[in-house]
Structure 1
Amino acid sequence: MRQEKDPFISIVLPVYNESAGIGETIKELANYVRARPERYELIFVNDGSTDDSADQIRAAVAENPTIRLVDFSRNFGHQLAITAGIRYASGDAVVVMDADLQDPPRVIPEMLARWREGYDVVYGKRRKRSGETWFKKLTAETFYRVLKAVTSIDIPVDTGDFRLMDRRVVNVLKQMNEQDPYVRGMVSWVGYKQVAVEYDRQERTAGKTHYPLRKMLHLAMNGITSFSTVPLTIANWLSGFFLLVAVVTTFVSLLLGRLSLLTWVISATFFVGAGVTFTIGLLGNYIGRMFAESRHRPLYIVADTYGFKTQAAQQTHYRYHALQN
């Protein structure tokens, strides 16, 4: 299928409260699809939006047979929205991108070119991130490098979820039923031939980011605890450090003849308390993941779907008609 002129490509877009910009996203992607030789489906996954994002997409489904909508019953999270979109995708290759046009569609042809060369995963690597604060850029760069240092798999730095995946990679991901997935890490874990395509990330066309610091920290913790057991060894490091501090403090105080029992006890208590609390928190995160997996609940609940009964012939007719106009 890679060498055919018109392979079938699925584009998956998680959506959460994108009312201000979703119309422009639909328009730009529709124009992109019309101009391309490949066959496409655009799968929007509404992650429990409280605005009219889903209404706008449903209206687009009625007018454009290449558009589909997976409508969640509530907000389940960005990574599960991506997971659902991947599972509903039927393309020979699947592209995942954000619905705010920060991931520009013009990069997709370059991804397709590398896919045709034989690569199974082509991920977007950001050269620069327009429209983002210095704090977000700094925390993102720090996180990617910490994650790379502590995990046993090679998760590329400065990459998000914008990527193209071959069908055989998608089929493996569909077998992974993680309750709290970290998709970009899972794709790296799968392996196969992977390559980067560099691009400049654009500013949002409208609206505001739905990844505040709280969600960024949650995603970071998911990434680390999903693919590394290094944090579990921190307890050993801390215990050794506290022992060293206690020995040095006692030795220096005795040497100087200024040992104050009360001062030493208070300082030691605070040090040990902080270390124990931090360690318990890390252990709790791992135990929480085990608990979530043990419940065997559905990863998400789909309230309804739209556009998935459209026939390929209708798609071809729509693309031909659009090009003629």
Structure 2
Amino acid sequence: MRDRGMIEGLTFEAAPEAVTRPLVSLIVPVLNEQDAVIPFVQAIDGMVQSQWPVLEDRPRLEIIFVDDGSTDATAAVLRGLCAGDKRVKLIQLSRNFGKEAALSAGLKASRGDAVVPMDVDLQDPPELLRPMIDRWQSGVQVVNARRCDRSSDTMFKRSSAQLFYKAINSLADHPIAEDVGDFRLFDRAAVDALNQMTEHSRFNKGLFSWIGFRTETLDYVRPQRAVGDTKWKFSKLLALAVDGIVASTTFPLRIWTILGSVISLLAFGYAGFLVIRTVLFGVDTPGYASLMAAVLMLGGLNLLSLGLMGEYIGRIAKQVRGRPLYIVADKVGF
């Protein structure tokens, strides 16, 4: 029933209040995924129709694919999708900048009231979007999706991931959520905070933890990859792990301050012992083995500490150069 109102003695019927459906942005970084993008969009369509059977209840969607320098027909397939579906948008980067940069490009371009990064391989189940959005609409600003069962991963990947989380959370100033990847929902306020971050050596999981906001977690079983092969090689995973530790804490630098202090105290104590022994018992012939052990140990520690400082200094150099995190070659659908 319409409300009635009066302006200077005139009576009128007010129009019903307009109801705006929320806009949800899906951020999908892709690299050589020409066979996966169409099944992904089809899976999203099927999820929307099954989870929100009433059209008026459905959130509006924009699906932002970020092509991170693909060399196959991924860009051509995405351009075709953009031409036939206004929800689909394409950001094409000028070359491969890495998933962290591609994800940042998608976050920057998103317009949604809520934003959800997802993998195109459907290991991030579209069916989880409905409970994530429901939590968000109840007032939660960040909804994490935690992998409670990683049996689909190899033994090496599971063990290395467990080791990484234990290492980084024992060192990081702000621990990251274990077994939570990029698949999570962000409120617009959280996305705006992330877009203010200027780090060049990007570790998004650390940034997601650092911004805070009201957070809840949903558990899910991670399925097998639906199409294609993973693009994460061991060297890339190792580089990401180093970036994560270096970006999350300066504690490794402090270790060498502590270790140097301890070694200095031991050295002064040993020097005092040698002076006293020489005064009391005279000079004896120094042992070659003990001398070489001390030299090699201290030399190794010096090289290790220099290498660690080099990791931080290298990232400082990248930051000081001021180059952009990524370069957009083209945008379609915006």
Query: Is 1:28 aligned to 2:19, yes or no?
Result: no
Query: Is 1:286 aligned to 2:312, yes or no?
Result: yes
Closer/same/farther in 2, CA of residues 244 and 203 from structure 1, 3 Å limit? farther
Query: Is 1:207 aligned to 2:219, yes or no?
Result: no
Cα-to-partner distance string for 1:18-65 (whole Å, 9 max, x where unaligned): 234233223212333455411100000000011222222111111211
Q: Tell me which residue corresponds to 1:303.
A: 329
The question of whether the paired residues in 1 share the 8 Å contact of 2:22 and 2:60 is answered with yes
Query: Is 1:143 aligned to 2:169, yes or no?
Result: no
Q: 1:185 aligns with which of 206, 219, 228?
A: 206
Partner Cα separation in structure 2 for residue 268 and residue 71 of structure 1: 55
Partner Cα separation in structure 2 for residue 49 and residue 208 of structure 1: 14
- Aligned pairs for 1:77-156 (under 5 A) are 77-156=98-177
Closer/same/farther in 2, CA of residues 50 and 261 from structure 1, 3 Å limit? farther
Helix, strand or coil at the partner of 2:139: coil
* TM-score normalised to structure 1 length: 0.85
Partner Cα separation in structure 2 for residue 143 and residue 210 of structure 1: 19
Q: Tell me which residue corresponds to 2:281.
A: none
Give, as a single letter, the amino acid of the residue that structure 2 aligns with 1:303: A
How many residue pairs match? The answer is 299
* TM-score normalised to structure 2 length: 0.83
C-alpha RMSD of the superposition: 2.3
Partner Cα separation in structure 1 for residue 241 and residue 125 of structure 2: 24
Query: Is 1:45 aligned to 2:66, yes or no?
Result: yes
Q: 2:196 aligns with which of 175, 185, 189?
A: 175
Identity of aligned residues (%): 38
Q: 2:180 aligns with which of 139, 159, 163?
A: 159
The question of whether the paired residues in 1 share the 8 Å contact of 2:168 and 2:175 is answered with no
Query: Is 1:216 aligned to 2:231, yes or no?
Result: no
Structure 1 or 2, whichever has the larger Rg, is 2
Q: Tell me which residue corresponds to 1:320.
A: none
Query: Is 1:263 aligned to 2:289, yes or no?
Result: yes
Give, as a single letter, the amino acid of the residue that structure 2 aligns with 1:186: L
The question of whether the paired residues in 2 share the 8 Å contact of 1:242 and 1:272 is answered with no
Helix, strand or coil at the partner of 1:65: coil
Give, as a single letter, the amino acid of the residue that structure 1 aligns with 2:327: I
Partner Cα separation in structure 2 for residue 207 and residue 94 of structure 1: 25
Q: Which consecutive residues of structure 2, in runs of 5 or more, have no partner in the other structure? A: 1-18, 53-57, 278-284
Closer/same/farther in 2, CA of residues 130 and 45 from structure 1, 3 Å limit? farther
Helix, strand or coil at the partner of 1:19: coil
Q: Which consecutive residues of structure 1, in runs of 5 or more, have no partner in the other structure? A: 309-325
Alpha-carbon distance, 1:294 to partner: 0.8
Give, as a single letter, the amino acid of the residue that structure 1 aligns with 2:173: S
